[in-house]
Amino acid sequence: MLAALSVLLVSCEKVIQLKPATKQDKYVIEGTITNEPGNCSVLISRTKNFDDDNTFNGVNGAIVKIENNGTVVTLPETSSGVYTTTAINGTPGQTYRLTATVNGETFTAVSTMQQPVPLLDFYLKPADYDSLRTVAYVKYKDSAEVKNFYWFELFINDKRQQNYAVANDEFTTGQLINSGLIFQNKTKNREKDIKRGDKLSVEMHSVDPSVFLYLFSLSGAKGSGDSAAPANPISNITGGALGFFSAHTTQRKSLIIPK
């Protein structure tokens, strides 16, 4: 599941009005379909307080479907609250519709898979290695033909990190981009420090505007300070559920921190 707080390194900041979070119990739906074969999944859970642990609170028994060009595929529940299929994979330029029926309530979302922008390089400058906070860099050439939105997921030794980054090309249309991504240990557990020889990885996704808006607004969901009220991110799911549905392309690169 996505973390409530996110690293936003390369996006253009805008003021986004968020609705204050309520104590009301809601469903959370996180669905993705990519251009990779068999990579389609929907996670359904219930809301938890920000101070609760990150244990996945899966919801069983939902009916989950993905529709594209008149073809409907039902996703079986492969584990508690997790619905996956290998029957379909996404195609850039195509639009996908998610329908999830949970205990008599129906939620829908639509997402269009964008054309991929090639991830050219992923590299580390020796001076930017630190056991608590290491900065690695992505290099890509933005496409000037369309508006582009990006989502970068981060991994250390193949373990997905809670922080991520999003970006758009509002001020970088058509440019060659080199942007830093922060890998960090924000805990007090020194065993989780970043070590030489560790593997750092990034997944670069080209996402549609509604998914970018959700991920961007999610970064402010907990508020800007200890006294700030949590707020709900802006979801592209209709029907009252939280979360998002994203049809996106995926590219990945890795590096090993030199010893």
Give the per-residue pLDDT at 16: 37
pLDDT-based confidence at residue 3 (cuts at 50, 70, 90) = very low
pLDDT-based confidence at residue 48 (cuts at 50, 70, 90) = confident
The answer, yes or no, to whether residue 55 has pLDDT greater than 60, is: yes
Mean pLDDT value across the chain: 88
Chain-centre distance for alpha carbon 158: 16
- Catalogue all structural domains in the chain, each as residue range(s) with its CATH number: 19-114+220-247 (2.60.40), 119-206 (2.60.40)
pLDDT digits (tens, 9 = 90+) for 80-103: 999 999 999 899 999 999 999 999
pLDDT digits (tens, 9 = 90+) for 122-179: 999 999 999 999 999 999 999 999 999 999 999 999 999 989 999 999 999 999 999 9
The answer, yes or no, to whether residue 113 has pLDDT greater than 80, is: yes
Q: What is the mean pLDDT of residues 37-45?
A: 94
Q: What is the mean pLDDT of residues 239-245?
A: 96
